[in-house]
Structure formats: C-alpha cells, structure tokens
C-alpha cells in the first residue's frame, strides 16, 4: 500500500472506549468472533481477520469533531454502523495508504465546512489497479481541500453508506 498525502483518521482511542461501553445510539454493544473476516474496522483502518473479536456499534462521526470545533452539526449529526475491535488494538499502522480502497469500489467523499454543514461531495469510482485506486482517493481529497471552506472530509462506502474514515484539513 502506498503512503497517503492526507492522513486518514481512525476513531480516537478514548472515543472507542466510550463506544465499547455504550454506542452513540445508547446501546451496549454485542461482541462476537468474526467467522468470515473482512469487516472494515474503524479502530485500526484495516479489514478484520477470522476469529477476531469485534462489535458493530452506532457511531456519529461528525458529532465529536463539531463539539471540538465549537459548532453545531444540526441534522448532519447522523448515526450509523461501524465495526470496531472489542478490546483495544494498536490502531493504524504508522505508514499506510488510504484504507478500504478496494479496486472497482465506489466511495463518496462528503465535505463539511468549519460551521459543521455539508459543503459538497464527490462520487469516486476506484480504478481496478490498486496503485491507481490509491491515487484516485488522493486526487479526490486534493480537490476537496482545494475549497478553502472545507474543514473535514468523510469517506463513505456507497454500497452501504457506511462511514469509513475522516480526513481533516492539513
């Protein structure tokens, strides 16, 4: 995997601790051993392996960024499912490219301004070549941050609409 120009951010460890106790919908998460592998883990930004203990939790990705920025996310404070390890993990590898950049997949890059409102989005179809898929994500993020109003970008899977990771203005 190639190194990314922008830093994909996993869910912060202290937030993961909160989600493991009670998720953003107020539910106590269920734990299970992954029998099939492949769940996109938002704690370490990689796919799960067979037998790893994971939970599917509700997460509001804009909520904590907005609170730290002192802005109100309003209706954009949506909650959706994400997979995480049941216990602490080492987090993402120090040097990696853009996670979940499977070839041929479609991604939506949703842009938010400094006031917590959506400022636009882009649909990106990842090329079949893995190196070109990484480049396509990098190019889409570069275009998103070319707009000076953009403060944060959420990368989402089109198929399920799931939040995958966020990238903040460098």
Q: What residues does each domain of the chain span?
A: 13-85, 106-168
pLDDT tens digits for 44-53?
Answer: 999 999 999 9
With a cut of 70, say whether residue 3 has pLDDT above it.
Answer: no
Distance CA 164, CA 166 (A): 7
Residues ≥6 apart with Cβ < 8 Å to 110: 118, 121, 153, 154, 156
7-11, 66-70, 82-86, 157-161, range with the lowest pLDDT: 157-161
pLDDT tens digits for 74-133?
Answer: 999 999 999 999 999 999 987 678 999 888 899 999 999 999 999 999 999 999 988 899
Percent of the residues in the chain that have a pLDDT greater than 70, as a whole number: 98
Mean pLDDT of 1-18: 87
What value does the mean pLDDT of the chain take?
93
Q: What is the pLDDT of residue 95?
A: 66
Q: What is the pLDDT of residue 1?
A: 46
Nearest to 138 by CA among 157, 116, 122, 159: 122
Residue 134 vs residues 5, 32, 39: alpha-carbon distances, Å: 10, 31, 20
Q: pLDDT band at residue 161, thresholds of 50, 70 and 90?
A: confident
Residue with tokens 């998103």: 144
Q: What is the pLDDT of residue 147?
A: 97
Distance CA 100, CA 107 (A): 10
Distance CA 77, CA 100 (A): 23
The reported pTM is: 0.92
Q: What is the pLDDT of residue 71?
A: 95
What six digits make up the tokens of 92?
Answer: 């993402």
Most distant pair of Cα atoms in the chain: their distance: 44
Q: What is the pLDDT of residue 151?
A: 97
């Amino acid at each position: 995997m190639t190194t990314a120009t922008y830093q994909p951010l996993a869910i912060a460890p202290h937030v993961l601790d909160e989600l493991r106790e009670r998720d953003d919908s107020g539910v106590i998460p269920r734990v299970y051993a992954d029998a099939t592998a492949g769940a996109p883990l938002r704690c370490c930004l990689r796919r799960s392996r067979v037998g790893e203990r994971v939970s599917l939790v509700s997460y509001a990705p804009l909520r904590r960024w907005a609170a730290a920025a002192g802005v109100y996310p309003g209706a954009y404070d949506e909650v959706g499912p994400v997979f995480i390890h049941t216990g602490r993990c080492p987090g993402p590898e120090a040097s990696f490219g853009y996670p979940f950049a499977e070839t041929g997949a479609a991604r939506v890059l949703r842009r938010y301004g400094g006031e917590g409102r959506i400022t636009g989005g882009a649909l990106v179809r990842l090329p079949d070549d893995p190196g070109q898929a990484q480049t396509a994500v990098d190019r889409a993020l570069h275009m998103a941050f070319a707009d000076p109003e953009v403060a944060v970008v959420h990368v989402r899977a089109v198929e399920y609409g799931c939040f995958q990771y966020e990238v903040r203005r460098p």
